[in-house]
Structures are given as C-alpha cells and as structure tokens.
C-alpha cells in the first residue's frame, strides 16, 4: 500500500459514517471477561464468541473496521472460513492489536509502559500478509498523587510514535491510543489537564518520528471525572471538555478520532459520543476531524452477557450487538436519543 492508499484506508475507517469495533482482547483479558460471566475459558469458547461477533448480520452497515488479536486473526468459523475473509466480505477492514501489554515502568512506581517494539517489524509484515490493513497500540496512564510523571508520559508517547512509524513503513494505518484510565477520584478538570499534557507529548513524538498524520487515527479517552469522583460531569460538560482538549492539541491533518469507551456503560458512551457530534455539527468547519467510536466493552458487553457461552443464545446476542452499533452509528450523526434503548 502506498502512503496514499494508507491515507485512503484511514479515511475509510473514520469518515464513512461508521465506527470501529474493538474485539482485540488478549486471551488473558477475554478469559477474565468470560470468567466474570461464568463462561469456560477455552480457545474454542473464545473462537465461538468471536465467530458470533464477526457473523452478526449487517455489521458492515455500522462498522468500518474490526480490531483483532493475534489468536483471532488466525481463527476461522466453524465452516472453516477465516475471520479476516468473513469481515472483508462484509465490507469491514481487518486490523490488529500489536502491543504486548502495559508493564511496570522501571524507577516509576505506579506507572506502566507498553511493550512490544522489539521484533515488531516482522510481526507487522506478517499481519499485513494475513490481511490486516491497520493496527492498534494502547498506552495506559493512571491518574494519582503525583502521577503521571513527565518520565512516564514521555516513555509512553515515545513508544506510541516508534510503533506508528513502524506501522506506516509496513503499510498499516496506526491507531495511536493513549488512554487515561477512569479509575480514581480525580475531577473532570484534572483529567482534561493531563489529557492535554499527554496529547501534546504524543504529537511531539509523532512529529519527531516523522509519522504521516493524514494516515493515522487517534484513539483517545473522553475527558471524564474519575469513577469515584462524587461530581460526575454532565453530557455537555464532558463534550465541551473533550472537544476543547482535542481542538487545542490534535493537528487538523490527523485523519480522524475514534474514542475508546474505557469501562463506561454502553448507553453513556453512546450518549457522550452523540453530544460531541451535536456540538461538532454546530461548530462546522472549526472541528477538522470526524469523531467516531472504537469501543470494545461499550459495544460487546450486553452481547457477551446474553450469549453466556450458549449456542442457543447466539441470535439474541447478535441482536444486542447490532443494537449497540446502530445506536453508536446514530450518535455519529448526532441523532441518538435514549428512547432508542427501549425495545
Ligand atoms: P474499551 O472500549 O473497552 O475501552 O476498549 C477499547 C480498546 O480497544 C482498548 O484498547
């Protein structure tokens, strides 16, 4: 893929009025979610669950790209069709999570840095051969007393930029995901300040690694109060804080922005995305990029709960997944309303 083709892929992923489906849980994370629901933690259960997702009827009407995991990108349906082909046939671009997880950052108690740069180049080339056309790397930042430190921010920003440059060299569109966790009692204002610090550091490093912004997607957190903060921001406050933060720190050249859900409920994540798109429309040309979703939990959770590892529940689970992606698609147009949640 030439750089022009990468730019076209990035635009298709974010600017087609659709969103991304993150189904890239590592085996450990997937097993943890299964354990919470009492589902056996086997490779076959993970395969069956992923088959349920990728074969959901009309998924391609709302989803432009699906982020897979190393195990998943090699898996097939019960009839032997590779998941990548099922997605491609549905008009969905296959992507791949390539980081190897967040590990303790040396000499920085309470902070993590994402690993996976060593040996990344041949892994990217292999994923491209299998059919991936974009990739994802997630950096994790916790807010706390004196955290994050400048060293923690810089280490994560640098790794994100090294990853993004390697992706573009291997003809994959990088999704750059610096995530501030919702855990804690921090205020919305503190989340805004730190999100701005991180975005500035990330774009500084992306610039120094010569990453082409038109061929990348930013996957940020929404600016939110901590889960245990007694004062939670209203839809308007969250939308204003998030948009303002992005406008001040994300270059207009970036192909688009696709939010993570971070543990918000499906309904809340959709309502907040909708509020942002309502404001974006009102601001017209002052917001240069599309604002879409790249949710995992906020899209999958109801479906996983309904499925419960039981084949008889597959259709009902697919309906729940369809419902969430349709609500999120409406939110991209600023047309979501809570009444859509009542059957
Ligand atoms: P959540 O939407 O569950 O936060 O997951 C998004 C994601 O891809 C995390 O890397």
Counting beta carbons within 10 angstroms of the beta carbon of residue 223, is it exposed (0 to 12), middle (13 to 18) or buried (19 or more)?
Answer: buried
pLDDT tens per residue across span 217-270: 999 999 999 999 999 999 999 999 999 999 999 999 999 999 999 999 999 999
Determine the angle formed by the axes of helices 235-249 and 188-208, rounding to 10 degrees: 20
Phi, psi (deg, nearest 5) at residue 144: -170, -170
Instruction: Give yes or no for a contact between 202 and 160, defined as CB atoms under 8 angstroms apart.
Output: yes
Confidence tier at 81 by pLDDT (50, 70, 90): very high
Residue 72 predicted with pLDDT over 90 = yes
pLDDT in tens, 292-312: 999 999 999 999 999 999 999
Catalytic annotation on 32?
no
Confirm whether 103 is a catalytic residue: no
Q: How far is the CA of 260 from the centre of ligand 1 (A)?
A: 5
* Whole-number Cα distances in Å, 303 to 56, 184, 200, 263, 313: 11, 28, 37, 15, 9
What pLDDT score does 1 carry?
A: 64
The per-residue pLDDT for 343 is 74
Q: Is the CB of 261 under 6 A from ligand 1?
A: yes
At 54, list the tokens: 């990728």
Ligand 1 contacts CB of residue 262 (under 6 A): yes
Q: How crowded is residue 229: how many other Cβ atoms within 10 Å of its Cβ?
A: 17
What confidence score (pLDDT) does residue 15 get?
87
Q: What is the pLDDT of residues 160-207, one digit of tens each?
A: 999 999 999 999 999 999 999 999 999 999 999 999 999 999 999 999
pLDDT in tens, 199-216: 999 999 999 999 999 999
Which pLDDT score is estimated for 71?
98
Asked if 219 and 136 touch (Cβ cutoff 8 Å), the reply is yes
Question: Tens digits of per-residue pLDDT, 117-155?
Answer: 999 999 999 999 999 999 999 999 999 999 999 999 999
Kindly report whether the global pTM for this prediction surpasses the value 0.85. Answer: yes
Q: Is 177 in the pocket of ligand 1 (CB under 6 A)?
A: yes
């Amino acid at each position: 893929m030439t750089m022009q083709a990468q730019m076209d892929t990035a635009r298709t992923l974010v600017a087609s009025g659709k969103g991304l489906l993150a189904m890239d849980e590592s085996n450990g994370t997937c097993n943890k979610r299964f354990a919470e629901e009492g589902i056996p933690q086997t490779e076959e259960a993970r395969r069956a669950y992923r088959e349920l997702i990728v074969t959901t009827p009309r998924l391609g009407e709302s989803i432009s790209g699906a982020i897979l995991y190393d195990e998943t990108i090699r898996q097939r349906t019960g009839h032997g069709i590779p998941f990548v082909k099922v997605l491609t046939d549905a008009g969905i671009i296959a992507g791949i999570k390539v980081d190897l997880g967040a590990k303790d950052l040396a000499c920085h108690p309470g902070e993590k840095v994402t690993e996976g740069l060593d040996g990344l180049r041949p892994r990217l080339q292999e994923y491209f051969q299998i059919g991936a056309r974009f990739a994802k790397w997630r950096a994790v930042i916790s807010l706390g007393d004196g955290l994050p430190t400048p060293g923690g921010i810089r280490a994560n920003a640098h790794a994100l930029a090294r990853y993004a440059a390697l992706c573009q060299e291997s003809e994959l569109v990088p999704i750059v995901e610096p995530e501030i966790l919702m855990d804690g009692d921090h205020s919305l204002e503190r989340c805004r300040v730190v999100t701005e610090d991180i975005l500035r550091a990330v774009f500084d490093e992306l610039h120094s690694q010569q990453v082409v912004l038109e061929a990348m997607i930013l996957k940020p957190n929404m600016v939110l109060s901590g889960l245990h903060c007694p004062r939670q921001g209203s839809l308007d406050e969250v939308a204003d804080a998030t948009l303002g933060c992005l406008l001040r720190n994300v270059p207009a050249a970036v192909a688009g922005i696709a939010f993570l859900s971070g543990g918000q409920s499906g309904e809340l994540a959709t309502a907040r995305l909708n509020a942002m798109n309502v404001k974006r429309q009102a601001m017209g040309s002052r917001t240069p990029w599309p604002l879409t979703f790249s949710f995992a939990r906020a899209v999958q959770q109801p479906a996983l709960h309904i499925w419960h590892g039981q084949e008889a529940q597959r259709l009902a689970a697919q309906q729940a997944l369809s419902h969430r992606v349709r609500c999120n698609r409406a939110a991209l147009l600023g047309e979501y309303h809570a009444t859509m949640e009542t059957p």
